[in-house]
Amino acid sequence: MAHGAGGKASRKLVEGLFAPLLFGSSPGPLGDAAHIDINGTRVALTTDSFVVKPLTFPGGSIGELAVNGTVNDLAVSGARAEALLVTYVLEAGLPTPVLEGEVRAMARAARDAGVRVAGGDTKVVEHGKADQMYVTTTGIGHLIPGVTVDPRSVRVGDKILLSGPIGDHGITILLARGELDLEADLQSDTRSVLPLVETLIRAAGPGIRWMRDPTRGGAATSLNELARDCGLGMVLFEDQIPVRDTVRGACELLGLDPLHIANEGQFLAVVSPEYADAAINALSLAPGGGEAQVIGEVREQPAGTVLVTTRYGGSRIVDMLVGDPLPRIC
Amino acid sequence: MCLAIPGKIVEISCDNTDSALVDVVGVRRRIDLGLLQDDKPIAGDWVLIHVGFAMSKISEQDAFEQMNTLRALGEIDGAMQEVEGYGLDNMN
Amino acid sequence: MRFVDEFREPELISRAAEEIRRLAGTERHYRLMEVCGGHTHAIYRFGLKDILPENIELIHGPGCPVCVLPMGRIDDGLSIAQQPDVIFAAFGDMMRVPGTQGSPLEHKARGMDVRIVYSPSDALKLARLNRDRQVMFFAIGFETTAPSTALTLMRAKAEGIDNFSVFCNHVTIIPAIRAILDSPDMRLDAFIGPGHVSTVIGCRPYEWIAKDQHKPIVVSGFEPLDMLQSIVMLLRQLKAGEAKVENQYKRVVPWEGNRAALRAMAEVFQLRPYFEWRGLGFISQSALRLNDKYAAWDAEQRFFVPGIRVTDPKAAQCGEVLKGVLKPHQCKLFGRECTPEHPIGALMVSSEGSCAAYHNYEHRKAAMATSLTSIA
């Protein structure tokens, strides 16, 4: 199964197998969180599994990813996380200090994100069956007033915003695996994007059409999904996409595209042109938002596609990730 | 063919002069200098890296000359205007 | 100087594009072949086709070592790796290339020990760290990569590392260019010469192209300005009726090549009498194998190799696309049975293969243009 890296294969699995059997006649495109109605109160629900090797890496560990990932999924759906449930699947033989370290990291991340861990479950499986540990978090929250996230509301002329540099997390993990003889001063960008999302909503709420956190598969995959869901074209300006030099260097050395690399502390937003300036100003002044950029705009063509343009008039189409991002020598 | 990138030699290994640490925009990688036996680079030199081996030394002089040639493109009637150090001084 | 950004300066790119338009005029149609897959990739990545005038046609050559590898060789390599104690090590480029029973990655999903390496030295390191296993390095590449494999083998021999072997698929560029020029349906004006192969072999090996075939060839770098400058140099030669070898990539390519690299290759390899190139058929003296001094590290001698020849499905026109006779979208399977997700031929798997590049970059832009005109 090549479905791990996000992108086309994962999407096929979800849409081809899970959706028809589990989601029944649920209308609409698949989003980061589900908004359901419980006796007149709208709540947001989401769940995510975290599988990462190595467990700890510069900038964080699976504990932080598990908390921030779920808080972020809720945030980009326009909801504030209130509580999390956590499930651990632990490999027999996992050293207690390692487990304790992760639980502490999770507690810290939950405190920082302002969310409470309300309960959970643990299972232990045979040695060799869980890559040390797998973590699943389920988050529940209430909708933030003043914003509706819906890809079908995207219009030609809307601006595409990115909260900060892409590629940090994925490259950090790749280097942390130690298989490459590469060293870099880089760390995962894992953080809760809720504060920035709330800032964005305050400044530009009525103009927000869509948001997403570009995790596995990178920004290219998220934007391709949007392009497909709204049938319009996402045109990006290469020079305006923020990428740290070290990430760029590592990608060049390995033959990878930063647009396909996972992020754990950034989000994309599509905002109507009237609100775009207010949006980007508010973000860049907010803590952690200093590198936010307008990276592109929505156009009619090329429909359903993501196009990256260069300053000198060249352009190329960027597809969803097909399988894992593979490095190349040629 | 093939992906080859310029990198700057940061340090040559003491116990193995065929091994060097290069820097590519802040990413450091250990590479093999075994193919540059006849013209060994030193720290500070730029080399072209392919599959972990240095293939060639990069001549800064030739690069500058090439940039000048490129800048001269579009000059009227082949008259070469004097090329100021356009931005080259600002580049590291 | 960083030697990268400088060669992407938009202002200079505009000037070069202007000069190309001026030189190209409107009367004549120019057919330029870029030999090397890395150049094909660069053309698409930087959108260079959008900058060039319509009367300059870039034809993609056969310089993609993954694309020209017959499926049978992949099967052979994978069959060696079926053995329980063997670790199959190869570059990322190889991982999704389909054999008849699937790609290396698919074999990995079925339990084979398949590892991605970024250097032949990584593969040797695997052998050092796993003395109880056999590490087989599936080597591919033109003369750019062969010296690194050679040096690695020299080290393996010097250190006495006997659980390491190489399945060698290194090929040489000159016979491929010759095969293109010998092809009766070929009509080319000039060549954009491979930049990185030339760091090893130098510029002399191309002299017969200029002298005997009277076609200009400019050895080119890979940044947008490098390629545009090379096209300027080619157009100048063509307009002046000249045909010579020029080196645009002077900052990296020495005219005489890299003697140490050539020595390493001579120490370890010998030319195979002939080798099958996917799409081009058998070409004599066009590929390398380990010589007798290194027989002990030759995977084809250490292990049994079925040596089955696999012919491509008749409908797949990889050969004609490789020779530049057909454009990717003119192959009947293109975009239908053969896509980057389900590649039938290697030209669709390798990101620098003409078909994959065309599919990802041109195909949809062409579709977009069609839909625009149909709206109008």
Averaged pLDDT for residues A107-112 = 94
Structure tokens at A55: 């467990």
Put simply, the chain B residues between 47 and 66 with a CB less than 8 A from any chain A CB are: 49-52
Q: pLDDT grade, residue C93 (50/70/90)?
A: confident
Which stretch, A178-182, A205-209, A251-255, has highest mean pLDDT? A205-209
Quick one: pLDDT at residue C364?
A: 58
Tell me the nearest-neighbour CA distance from A64 into chain C, angstroms. Answer: 29
Are C202 and C71 in contact by the 8 Å Cβ rule? The answer is no
Please state which of the ranges A2-11, A144-153, A180-189, A219-228 shows the lowest mean pLDDT. A2-11
Q: What residues contact residue C86 under an 8 Å CB cut-off, 6+ apart?
A: C80, C113, C133, C134, C135, C136, C303
Cβ-Cβ contacts under 8 Å, A2 against chain C = 105, 109
Residue B90 has pLDDT above 60, yes or no: no
Q: Which helix (H) or strand (E) holds C135?
A: strand C134-141
* Among C258, C201, C199, C206, residue whose Cα is nearest residue C234: C206
pLDDT, averaged across chain C: 90
First CA to last CA distance, chain C: 48
- Paired tokens of C36: 């090397």
Residue C27: CB atoms within 10 Å: 6
- pLDDT (0 to 100) of residue A319: 82
Residue A330: band (very low, low, confident or very high) from pLDDT cuts 50, 70, 90: low
pLDDT beyond 60 at A74: yes
Q: A97-101, A270-274, B53-57, C159-163: which has the minimum mean pLDDT?
A: A97-101
Does residue C356 carry a pLDDT above 50?
Answer: yes
User: What subunits make at least 3 CB pairs under 8 angstroms with C?
Assistant: A, B
Q: What pLDDT is recorded for position B78?
A: 36
Mean pLDDT of C135-154: 97
Distance from CA of B8 to the nearest CA of A (A): 12
C-beta of residue C323 within 8 angstroms of C-beta of residue C178: no
**CA A252 to CA A249: how far, in whole Å?**
5
Rounded Cα–Cα distance for residues C56 and C26 (Å): 10
pLDDT over threshold 70, residue C211: yes
Of the candidates C251, A296, A286, C322, which has an alpha carbon nearest to the alpha carbon of residue B60? C251
Residue located via tokens 């094909």: C40
Express each pLDDT in A4-47 by its tens digit.
555 666 777 777 777 777 766 554 556 778 888 888 888 999 99
Give the span between the Cα atoms of C363 and C338, in whole angstroms.
Answer: 13
> Residue C23 corresponds to which amino acid?
L
Q: Which residue has the higher pLDDT, B64 or B43?
A: B43
**Dihedral angle, C-alpha C355, C350, B32, A181, nearest 10 °:** 130
Q: Which of A1-10, C180-189, C295-304, C334-343 has the lowest mean pLDDT?
A: A1-10
pLDDT tens, position by position, C279-302: 788 999 999 999 999 999 999 999
Q: What percent of chain B has pLDDT over 70?
A: 77
Tell me which of A113 and C8 has the higher pLDDT: A113
pLDDT at C376: 36
**CB spacing of B55 vs C144 below 8 angstroms:** yes
Distance CA A133, CA A102 (A): 10
Q: Which residue has the higher pLDDT, A164 or A27?
A: A164
CA–CA gap between residue B68 and residue B84 (Å, rounded): 9
C50 vs C160, residue with greater confidence = C160
CB contact under 8 A, C44 and A316: yes
pLDDT, mean of residues C3-30: 89
Question: Order of strands, edge to edge, in the sheet holding A79-91?
Answer: A34-38, A41-50, A133-143, A79-91, A116-125
C11 pLDDT more than 80: yes
Using CB atoms, which residue from C45, C50, C367 is nearest to A313?
Answer: C50
Helices and strands, number each (H, E), in chain B = 1, 5
Instruction: Give the lowest-confidence range in C5-19, C244-258, C284-298.
Output: C5-19
DSSP strand pairing (B46-50 vs B27-32): unpaired
- Cβ-based contacts of B66 with chain C (< 8 Å): 229, 248, 250-251
How is residue C201 written in tokens?
């072999």
* Mean pLDDT on C123-138: 96
Give the pair of three-digit tokens for residue A1: 């199964």
pLDDT interval class at C372 (50, 70, 90): very low
pLDDT value at residue B51: 92
HSE-CB at A140 with a 13 A cutoff on CA atoms is 12
Q: What is the mean pLDDT of chain A?
A: 89
Residue A196 tokens read as 């920035």
**CA-CA-CA-CA torsion sign (C140, C69, C41, C192):** positive
> Which pLDDT belongs to residue A320?
81
CA distance C370 to chain B (A): 33
Residue C146 pLDDT > 90, yes or no?
Answer: yes
Strand stretches in chain A, DSSP E:
34-38, 41-50, 56-57, 60-61, 79-91, 116-125, 133-143, 159-162, 182-184, 208-212, 233-237, 268-271, 293-299, 306-309, 315-317
Region of residue C257 (left: phi > 0; alpha: psi -120 to 50; beta: else): left
Which residues fall within 8 angstroms of residue A302, CB to CB, at 6 or more apart?
A233, A317, C364, C365, C367, C368
- Assess whether pLDDT exceeds 60 at residue B92: no
Tell me, what's the pLDDT at C186? 80
8 Å CB contact of A315 and C92:
no
- What number of C-beta contacts closer than 8 Å exist between B and C? 140
Which residues, other chains included, contact C150 with Cβ-Cβ below 8 Å and sequence gap of 6+?
Answer: C264, C265, C267, C268, C269
Cβ neighbours, 10 Å, residue C94: 30
Return the closest-CA partner of residue C93 out of C83, C81, C103, C82.
Answer: C103
Model pTM score: 0.86
Contact B27 A181 (CB under 8 A): no
Q: Which residue of B has its CA nearest to A248?
A: B25
The pLDDT value given to residue C373: 43
Tell me whether strands A159-162 and A268-271 are parallel, antiparallel or unpaired: antiparallel
Neighbours of chain B (3+ CB pairs under 8 A): A, C
pLDDT of residue A198: 97
Residue scoring higher pLDDT (C215 or A324): C215
**Chain C residues in contact with B32 (beta carbon < 8 A):** 119, 121, 148, 151
pLDDT of residue A41: 87
Residues of C in contact with B73 (CB under 8 A): 12, 15-16, 18-19, 232
Contacts of A255 in chain B (CB under 8 A): 3
What ipTM does this complex have?
Answer: 0.90
